[in-house]
Amino acid sequence: MRQSVQRVVPHERERIFDLVADVESYPSFLPLWKAARIIGHTADGYRTRQSLGIGPAKLDFISHTALTFPDRIVVASQDGPMRSLRMEWGLETAGPGQCRAKLDLVVEVHSRMLQKLLQATYGEMAPRLITAFERRANAVARGEIPPPPSFVPNAGTDAAPVPPGDAGKRQSAGEER
């Protein structure tokens, strides 16, 4: 399944970046996501153990997230049941208080049956994901939920970036919690 969508949302790109980078919050608002936990840092982002639910099936895998603040996030995996998972977010300012969010999504699993179930159940997943992030940004703006932690790039250091939710808990690449 390959999909692309873009939309102008009424939020600053830094806010959308922080929401997308806050992977550990995904299970609370995204369809499919059952679990997401950062397990280590890399030079350009972090590794996450994730679990998706597709009907009665559960897909567990590890992904790598590359963060380029504030305009690009790429999540990729070829682990476990994933033949190919790639979510590429592009964010650009579209005017005062507005962001053009673009999502290119590829989700292919090894099992043909699961692939068909995925397509039948979540056909237009990319627009659903952008809508979910836009709703979450709206809820933050209305004060209904707290804002995500801000992504803090480590300018001028060789250290891995500190993703949201992990400030002060730096780990070396590949180290598991």
Mean pLDDT of 104-117: 86
Residue 148 pLDDT > 90: yes
Residue 175 pLDDT > 70: no
Question: What letters, b where the CB count within 10 A reaches 16 and e where it falls short, cover 29-59?
Answer: ebebbeebebbbbbeebbbbbbbbebeeeeb
Residue 21 pLDDT > 50: yes
The lowest-confidence range among 127-131, 157-161, 171-175 is 171-175
DSSP state of 35: E
150 inside domain:
no
Residues 41, 161 contacting (CB under 8 angstroms): yes
148 inside domain:
no
65 inside domain:
yes
49-83 pLDDT per residue, tens: 999 988 788 889 999 999 999 999 999 999 999 99
83 inside domain:
yes
- Please, what sign has the CA dihedral across residues 115, 117, 118, 122? positive
CATH number at residue 125: 3.30.530.20
157 inside domain:
no
Q: Which domain holds residue 45?
A: 2-141
Alpha carbons 177 and 174: distance in angstroms, whole number: 10
Residues 34, 49 contacting (CB under 8 angstroms): no
177 inside domain:
no
Alpha carbons 30 and 138: distance in angstroms, whole number: 15
Alpha carbons 114 and 39: distance in angstroms, whole number: 26
- Number of residues assigned to the chain: 177
- For the chain, the domain total comes to 1
155 inside domain:
no
72 inside domain:
yes
